[in-house]
Chain A
Amino acid sequence: MSYPTTFRYTKEHEWVQIEGTRARVGITDHAQAELGDVVFVELPSLGTVVKKGGHLGTVESVKAVSDVFAPLSGKVVAVNSDLESSPETVNQSPHADGWLVALELSSPSEANDLLDAAAYEAHIA
């Protein structure tokens, strides 16, 4: 699977898709492949304020339970509640339907510190 060049990435294997001051967040194809079959996704409640690097949620697979960290600071304005009943979407479509949350960014310039697709692919190579 390719890594969309319009996304930004973290070394902890989250992706962000930024549109203005809003950003969608998910985990990368590499992350879902490493985790194996995802069986449970725990997401924050709407309105939660997170700091960059703070705890955003948890993804549980048959192998391990992993924290998801906020790639950017902001407020949770949407969560992908479909994942409650279909956690496998994270495996099947990590970069699109398997998105986790949407954030209203409080300091969008933080995105400058994130990796672009090429840098992320180099990181996981």
Chain B
Amino acid sequence: MRTLFDYPPREGVGGIFPTCDVPSGSPAEVLGEGLVRRNAPRIPNLSEGDVARHYTQLSKLNYGVDDGIYPLGSCTMKYNPKLNEDVARLAGFADVHPRTDEPLAQGTLRVLFELSELLRGISGMAAVTLQPVAGAHGELLGMFLFKKHFEERGETGRTRVLLPDSAHGTNPASAAVAGFSVTEIRSNERGTVDLDSLRAELDSSVAGIMLTVPNTLGIFEENILDIARAVHEAGGLCYFDGANLNSFIGRARPGDMGADVFHFNLHKTFSTPHGGGGPGAGAVAVSEKLVEYLPVPWIAKAGETYRLDWDHPRSIGSIHAFYGNFLVAVKAYAYLLQLGDEGLREVSGDAVLNANYLQERLKKTYSLPYDRRCKHEFVLSGEGFPDHVSTIDIAKRLIDYGVHPPTIYFPLIVREALMIEPTETESRESLDRFAEILETIAREAREHPELLHNAPTRAPVRRLDQTQAARNPVLTYPFGEQTA
């Protein structure tokens, strides 16, 4: 595959510039001798057409939610409605400057205010901020809020955060970055938090728990009320990671389950593009006791007028320039208005139905270590095939059949994990086709394992050497050297 640097350079320049109509001198006269470069810059000298063709060719090698099923567990790769894009491209949203005076930016402030209100209703919590720009950013904010809460109460000895081994991988990282130490709580044989192990850890050194609901096995913590009560009785706070909200949106509210902090992934549950297709947004909802610490500015409404409210002296401050990823918020708002209450209930209902449909069919072919009703996703194991066929081989073979593989080797508590999340936007036909492909691959694994070991054979590149790539990463472009 060529990069722009690998094309033969064009003669001359790729564009026609107008005659300069301001006085000019030589670069040395204008800038001083020391700032004039001696060698031509190493940039590709290509025409606009060359560049357009290059990127169009690259785009044809890509695979996204507009191509087909994208069952990446924990990522909620649902179809992104085009109406979201239309709305985000309206000039009033797309062209507004972040420093526009409030009276001239009432529409944008209203969208932020109303989206916050909708999310507040969905969460059943006291207040919402739209500032964080990723799920993990929301987690980090949540951990800062934990910290502020205990500082204000003089309980600085609360330095530990408890985390189940079925949590999202970013949870322990967020807690550690905020200065907490992490204590892992093991799952029981049902794949949920073991209440006795949890209670054994609860003491005055615990700041709280971070719980992924449903967890990374796609299983809802059926004891969530007991968990929250136990943590609260010990003086701790509850963080619920809402990356998997797609499984219960419109049907249950984290606020009713005892959450003190809950983050939304607008780019997952609310259908805004992500994973190379667009930036994220990790809105955060909090319970009453944390409201005053939320980042400034808040979006305030008086009568029919909206303004930015900076007057919250106990706030932890800003955690992002301006107001978060505004156009992502616009898309999420458009999505919510399209669906309404009834539509949101159907989202979670169909997401769970699709996951269970696939799980029940595929467990006849692949092992399902936690065999119970799942929520929006489930985790198969690629163990049990002969000839050293492993999950990576199954995933690579899926590429040969033209579908995106699921998340693999996560969560760590399932060996050779294949973590599958179909989302609600796949039709029954699409689910059946995906299942048929996985069944075919299981048959191939027994009869022609070399097909899996050699995969992918129909992708733009063959199997990459992950080990060498990690041990000897090439992080710069090798100018002047031969490239493949």
Q: 0/1 per residue, A56-85, Cβ < 8 Å to B? A: 000010111000000000000000000000
Q: 0/1 per residue, B468-484, Cβ < 8 Å to A? A: 00110000000000000
A40 within 8 A of B: yes
Residues of A within 8 A of B150 (CB): none
Q: Would you call A87 and B471 a contact (CB within 8 A)? A: yes
- Cβ 8 A contact of A39, one of B409, B412, B471: B471
Once bound together, how far apart are the Cα atoms of A105 and B471, in whole Å?
33
Q: Would you call B412 and A64 a contact (CB within 8 A)? A: yes
Once bound together, how far apart are the Cα atoms of A96 and B412, in whole Å?
27
Once bound together, how far apart are the Cα atoms of A63 and B412, in whole Å?
9
Residues of B within 8 A of A60 (CB): 470
Residues of A within 8 A of B467 (CB): 37, 39, 62
Residues of B within 8 A of A37 (CB): 466-467
A14 within 8 A of B: no
B133 to chain A, nearest CB (A): 25
- Cβ 8 A contact of B466, one of A62, A87, A88: A62
Cβ-closest chain B residue relative to A39: B470
Cβ-closest chain A residue relative to B466: A62
B168 to chain A, nearest CB (A): 15
Residues of A within 8 A of B412 (CB): 64
Interface size class of A (residues with CB under 8 A): under 10
Once bound together, how far apart are the Cα atoms of A63 and B409, in whole Å?
6
B contact residues, total (Cβ < 8 Å): 6
Q: Would you call B471 and A88 a contact (CB within 8 A)? A: yes
Once bound together, how far apart are the Cα atoms of A88 and B409, in whole Å?
20
Q: Would you call B409 and A64 a contact (CB within 8 A)? A: yes
Residues of B within 8 A of A62 (CB): 466-467, 470
Residues of A within 8 A of B471 (CB): 39-40, 87-88
Cβ-closest chain A residue relative to B471: A39
A98 to chain B, nearest CB (A): 15
Cβ-closest chain B residue relative to A64: B412
Cβ-closest chain B residue relative to A60: B470
B233 to chain A, nearest CB (A): 28
Once bound together, how far apart are the Cα atoms of A64 and B417, in whole Å?
12
Once bound together, how far apart are the Cα atoms of A60 and B470, in whole Å?
10
Chain B CB within 10 Å — which of A37, A40, A60 has the most? A37
A35 to chain B, nearest CB (A): 11
Cβ-closest chain B residue relative to A34: B415
Interface residues of A in 43-65 (CB under 8 A from B): 60, 62-64
Residues of B within 8 A of A64 (CB): 409, 412
Once bound together, how far apart are the Cα atoms of A37 and B412, in whole Å?
16
Q: Would you call B470 and A40 a contact (CB within 8 A)? A: yes
Once bound together, how far apart are the Cα atoms of A88 and B471, in whole Å?
9
B407 to chain A, nearest CB (A): 12
Interface residues of B in 403-424 (CB under 8 A from A): 409, 412
Residues of A within 8 A of B470 (CB): 39-40, 60, 62
Once bound together, how far apart are the Cα atoms of A37 and B466, in whole Å?
9
Residues of B within 8 A of A63 (CB): 409
Cβ-closest chain B residue relative to A87: B471
Once bound together, how far apart are the Cα atoms of A60 and B467, in whole Å?
11
Cβ-closest chain A residue relative to B181: A55
Cβ-closest chain A residue relative to B473: A39
Once bound together, how far apart are the Cα atoms of A43 and B471, in whole Å?
16
Once bound together, how far apart are the Cα atoms of A123 and B471, in whole Å?
31
Q: 0/1 per residue, B455-474, Cβ < 8 Å to A? A: 00000000000110011000
Cβ-closest chain A residue relative to B415: A34
Chain A CB within 10 Å — which of B409, B412, B470 has the most? B470
Once bound together, how far apart are the Cα atoms of A60 and B412, in whole Å?
14
Residues of B within 8 A of A87 (CB): 471
Cβ-closest chain A residue relative to B410: A64
Interface residues of B in 426-480 (CB under 8 A from A): 466-467, 470-471
Once bound together, how far apart are the Cα atoms of A87 and B470, in whole Å?
11
A89 to chain B, nearest CB (A): 12
Once bound together, how far apart are the Cα atoms of A64 and B409, in whole Å?
8
Interface residues of A in 90-106 (CB under 8 A from B): none
Once bound together, how far apart are the Cα atoms of A60 and B471, in whole Å?
10
A105 to chain B, nearest CB (A): 25
Once bound together, how far apart are the Cα atoms of A87 and B466, in whole Å?
14
Cβ-closest chain B residue relative to A36: B467
Once bound together, how far apart are the Cα atoms of A40 and B467, in whole Å?
10
A64 to chain B, nearest CB (A): 6
Cβ-closest chain A residue relative to B417: A63
If A37-B467, A39-B470, A62-B470 are given as contacts, then 13 extra A-B residue pairs at C-beta distance below 8 Å, sorted by A number, are A37-B466, A39-B467, A39-B471, A40-B470, A40-B471, A60-B470, A62-B466, A62-B467, A63-B409, A64-B409, A64-B412, A87-B471, A88-B471
In order of increasing CB-CB distance, the 10 nearest A-B pairs are A39-B470, A37-B467, A62-B466, A63-B409, A39-B471, A62-B467, A64-B412, A62-B470, A39-B467, A64-B409
Binding site for B on A (CB under 8 A): 37, 39-40, 60, 62-64, 87-88
13 A-B pairs within 8 Å (CB atoms) are namely A37-B466, A37-B467, A39-B467, A39-B471, A40-B470, A40-B471, A60-B470, A62-B466, A62-B470, A63-B409, A64-B409, A87-B471, A88-B471
